[in-house]
Structures are given as C-alpha cells and as structure tokens.
Amino acid sequence: MISPRALAPLLSYLHGLRVAPDPSLRYAITPLDEVLESYRVFLEGERGLARATVAKYERLARVFMADVAGPDGIVVQELTSGHVTGFMVRYCAGLNPWSAKGMVVALRSLLGFLHVAGHVSTSLVAAVPSVPGWSQSALPRGLDTMKVTALLDSCDRGTAKGRRDYAILVVLARLGLRSIEVANLRLDDIDWRGGELIICGKGNQVEPMPLPTDVGDALADYVRHGRPRGPSRALFLITRAPWNGLTPMGVREVVSTAGKRAGLDGRVGTHRLRHAVACDLLRRGAALTEVAQLLRHRDQRITATYAKVDQAALVALAQPWPGAS
C-alpha cells in the first residue's frame, strides 16, 4: 500500500509537466489513512524515532492492515487477537528470526498506539507472539582482506556511479558504519581541514570520527567528479533525476550488487563489512573496548560477541584435554 503523502512528490512533478490531473481535485482520504498518519506523527513527535525507523514502522503497519483487511475490508475497531496471531503466522513463514523480530517490535508499537489513541478498546500488544531466538548464538560473519579488495576493485571508477559506489564501500570498509549512517551523511558533515567526519548514529547521536586519507580521497573524487549538482545536501545521491539522497536500502543494494560483481559467495551486506572492521582490529591486537569505541556500541555486551573470533585470545584461554599427550 502506498499513501497519498508518499505519492505527493511524483504527482507534483507530473503536474508540472501537465500530464497529471488538476491538484485542486480532492481525493478521498480513508479512515485507515488518517489512523496511519496519526501513527506517524506519534512516532516522530512522542517517540522521537529516527526518520528511517518511522518509515519502517509505517510500512510494516500498512502491511499488517492490508493483510488483516482481506477482500471485505475491516475497520480498526474490529481488530482482535485472532487477527494479530493469524497475521504473524502468515507473515513470518520462511523469515529468518531477525526479520520476524523486527515485525514483532513494529506490530507491538502499532497496537500500543491504537489502544492509547482509543482506536481499540483493549490492548492487543500481548497477542503478538514472541519469536524464539538466542542472543550471541552465531559467529560474526566478516570478510577477509582479499574479499574486501575484490569488492572495491569491482567498481568502475571511470563512471559517476562507480565513483559513488567505491566511496560508499571505502567508508563502510574503513569506518564500519551502518547503512543508515552512510545514508544520513551530508556534505556539511565532512571537515576537510580538520580531517573529521560527523556521524549521526543510532538514537540521533552525533559523533565525530577521524577521516582516514584513503576515505577522504575517495569522497573528494566522488564529490568533484561523480556527484550530481543539485539542491540536495545529502552526500550520496541516486544516479537519476531528481537526484535525491540515497536511502539505507539503496546503500545496502550498492554493497549487494558489488558482491555479485566480485563473484563473492553468499549474501554480502553492509553488516559483513562492519564485522570485517571489528575482526581486523582484533587481529591487529586492539582491545574490545577500542572496537566498541569505533563501532559506537552503547552496550559492551554487543561488542563481546567478537571475542568468539579472537583466535589468539581463545588459544591462550584453552585448557589441555585431560589425558592428552
């Protein structure tokens, strides 16, 4: 489902070309649109969530409402726990635990809002089933140096798109940023003289990071020879008009496409580059506290998972097998 608000930029552009209907004609706004719009305002104003998180929650809310409505439609006031559990069973079939948990969090947020705002008489939050999963059960899947080099070499730096993709990959491979942090970068976040890059991280936390020479060179090459000129202050732009800023999904697509070009096995995502940065630091003798500082982890327990791939430290801790010679 696509909201009227999401279509507004496209309709404005088409109207300017005189190929769209007169914007003075009013289109009916459904009660569901009004509920979801008030939910978006709640997420932004009351919860203070980041823009990308709000967009994700709103999208998943539309998926849920479209699913439970069915061909005959359903009003919000008629929602029951059966609708909730039935949707989760259908939606989560075939999903990995992390994707399913993302829907659990988003759906509980929506149902909590519907109750607080008076759209449903009883809270249905408890009707959302939990997704089984065990934290720290998997090993971080990074990329070795040769594979990172292959990713970078796959970019055609003779083209504007290649310069952009190369700069994105260098930023990810050297600084370990998240996809949303790369998408949030703006031209004003680069301090060329001071050698710093301002990062807007989780929870809208703003932190400066050192700008390595190779990262600065890649960014300068893109800004001077690859970035389209236009009003947007976003650092990384899409490669076609109207040259808007690249989204977090767009950043992930850049990495995934580069992995396919390089012939790498398995799915290559931004977090594998983030893991690669952490694993490389440990191999070079960095402490977990230093890894946490670079990755900007607020919870040290998240960083502790990298201890499982610190082979030198694990060998020192290993005890001889009783009776072994």
163 labelled catalytic: no
Q: Report phi then psi at 128, rounded to 5.
A: -80, 115
- Annotation says 274 is catalytic: yes
User: What is the spatial distance between Cα 259 and Cα 148, in angstroms, rounded to a whole number?
Assistant: 9
CA–CA distances in Å: residue 213 to residues 57, 158, 218: 38, 21, 9
| Beta strands 206-210; 196-200: pairing state | antiparallel
- Report phi then psi at 98, rounded to 5: -70, -40
Q: Residue 9 and residue 3: Cα distance in Å, rounded?
A: 12
Judge contact between 211 and 190, C-beta under 8 A. Answer: yes
CA dihedral 217, 221, 222, 224 (to 10 degrees): 130
b/e string for 200-235 if b means 16 or more Cβ within 10 A?
bbeeeeeeebebeeebbebbebbbeebbeeeebebb
Q: Is 79 left (phi over 0), alpha (psi -120 to 50) or beta?
A: beta
What is the distance between the terminal CA atoms of the chain, rounded to a whole angstrom? Answer: 67
Candidate list 39, 166, 222, 306, residue with the active-site label: 306
Our answer to whether residue 115 is catalytic in this structure is no
Q: Which is the catalytic residue, given 202, 225, 301, 308?
A: 202
For the chain, counts of helices (H) and of strands (E): 14, 3
Contact between 223 and 187 (Cβ < 8 Å)? yes
Q: Catalytic residue among 62, 147, 163, 274, which?
A: 274
**Per DSSP, what are the bridge partners of residue 197?**
190, 209
Task: Please identify which of the residues 178, 252, 272, 275 carries the catalytic annotation.
Answer: 178
Cis? peptide before 242, omega within 30° of 0: yes
User: Catalytic site residue 275?
Assistant: no
What six digits make up the tokens of 126?
Answer: 């408890």
| Rounded Cα gap, residues 37 and 320, in angstroms | 62
In the residue annotation, 119 being an active-site residue is answered as no
Active-site positions?
178, 202, 271, 274, 297, 306
